[in-house]
Amino acid sequence: MTDSAPLLRMARMKKIILLVMLAMLAMAGTAMGQKDKDDEPTSFVYFLVVKDDNGKPVRNAAVIMHPVNESGKQGRGGMELKTDAEGKANFDGIPYGVLRVQVLAHGFQTFGEDYNVNKAKLDITIKLKRPQGQYSVYDDHAKDPNAAPKQDPPPADPDKKPN
């Protein structure tokens, strides 16, 4: 029985070594399958945010960037920049591909558009518009020739007492 103990230990060691080798092989395969972000080309993106009506810069506007995947869905993560007094913001290191840009500024409509980042330097000018007036069915609007005629309320009954 003492002669079989070293054989059992050797068999166990072989199993452990085999499992370690398989685990290392699996990790190497996973590492080879991953993209290396350092090898992807990147772009330097310059933003200029101005008012649509007069072209003056919009300071302290939030420029929010999100990556967009191949299926057109917004990816996880993102970055927010703030414009300076001249309405400028920039960022270096944007990977090539589609970039969703949203701009928010107090007193302006929210801006949103997708841009294709495909060169080393990209200039993007964004023109923000003032908010539009809201449409209400209760307001009097200009006569539309295709609109249905407005009905007058029924006349008040003089015999009816007020509530």
Q: Domain 40-128: which topology?
A: Immunoglobulin-like (2.60.40)
| Per-residue pLDDT tens digits for 76-109 | 878 899 999 999 999 998 888 899 999 999 999 9
pLDDT at 85: 94
Query: How far apart, in Å, are the Cα atoms of 43 and each of 37, 156, 160?
Result: 13, 72, 77
pTM of the model: 0.59
Judge whether 76 and 66 are in contact, CB under 8 Å: no
Longest CA–CA separation in the chain, Å: 120
Is residue 149 very low, low, confident or very high in pLDDT (cuts 50, 70, 90)?
low
The pLDDT value recorded for residue 105 is 94
